[in-house]
Chain A
Amino acid sequence: KQEVTQIPAALSVPEGENLVLNCSFTDSAIYNLQWFRQDPGKGLTSLLLIQSSQREQTSGRLNASLDKSSGRSTLYIAASQPGDSATYLCAVRQETSGSRLTFGEGTQLTVNP
């Protein structure tokens, strides 16, 4: 059974800092890994999708890496801003579980002005 863990559970940083969010998964037989952002009381916004054959994806100030063999992904946020405050979720899509996503518990990020 796939298990996804995100560390840290919560993070508070001053504006302008670069930061790294971590995601690990137990079963490396994945199609892809997706990072989402969830604002309080809102839905999920897809940030980056990394296929199993890729090592990283970039979008603006965000960079996500994937090391499939070791079961790890990181989300790097450069020059953080108060508007980045949200919960960040990592989800993996299995090759063998009928296409479901397995989510981590999330990292709650607060960027202080």
Chain B
Amino acid sequence: NAGVMQNPRHLVRRRGQEARLRCSPMKGHSHVYWYRQLPEEGLKFMVYLQKENIIDESGMPKERFSAEFPKEGPSILRIQQVVRGDSAAYFCASSPGRGPYGYTFGSGTRLTVV
């Protein structure tokens, strides 16, 4: 079991470019969560997805950010027209379902906007 796989591990983008972050959940897990950790800050919830459904996106910035979890393939967190303030570590976690399960986190993608 390879765990939660995130790629790339590091991503550098110029201001105005698009960033695409990928997350493959653990085998058997159908629920995916994205969290952001800004420098010197704690982890903040962004979005919760199941296959082909966004369940809770209340933590997502209103503009430029979107997420999907298609029927086939990894979950994608997409940031359009990146700005320096988007520089952060983005973590993905997965769980088997809605019940009282623990979360398993990936190693994160560190986005740097230059």
Contacts and interface: CB of A to CB of B under 8 A. Distances in A.
Contacts of A46: 102-105
Interface string B25-49: 0000001010100000111110010
A22 interface: no
A52 to B, nearest CB: 7
A89 B95 contact: no
7 contacts: A93-B103, A98-B48, A99-B95, A100-B33, A102-B45, A103-B42, A106-B42
Interface string B46-72: 001000000110010000000000000
A49 interface: yes
A98 B55 contact: yes
Interface string A29-53: 0011010100001111110010110
A105 B59 contact: no
A42 B109 CA distance: 10
Contacts, number: 65
A45 B3 CA distance: 11
Contacts of B56: 97-100
Nearest to B105: A44
Contacts of B100: 31-32, 51-52, 93
B107 interface: yes
A100 B42 contact: no
A106 B44 CA distance: 13
A91 B35 CA distance: 12
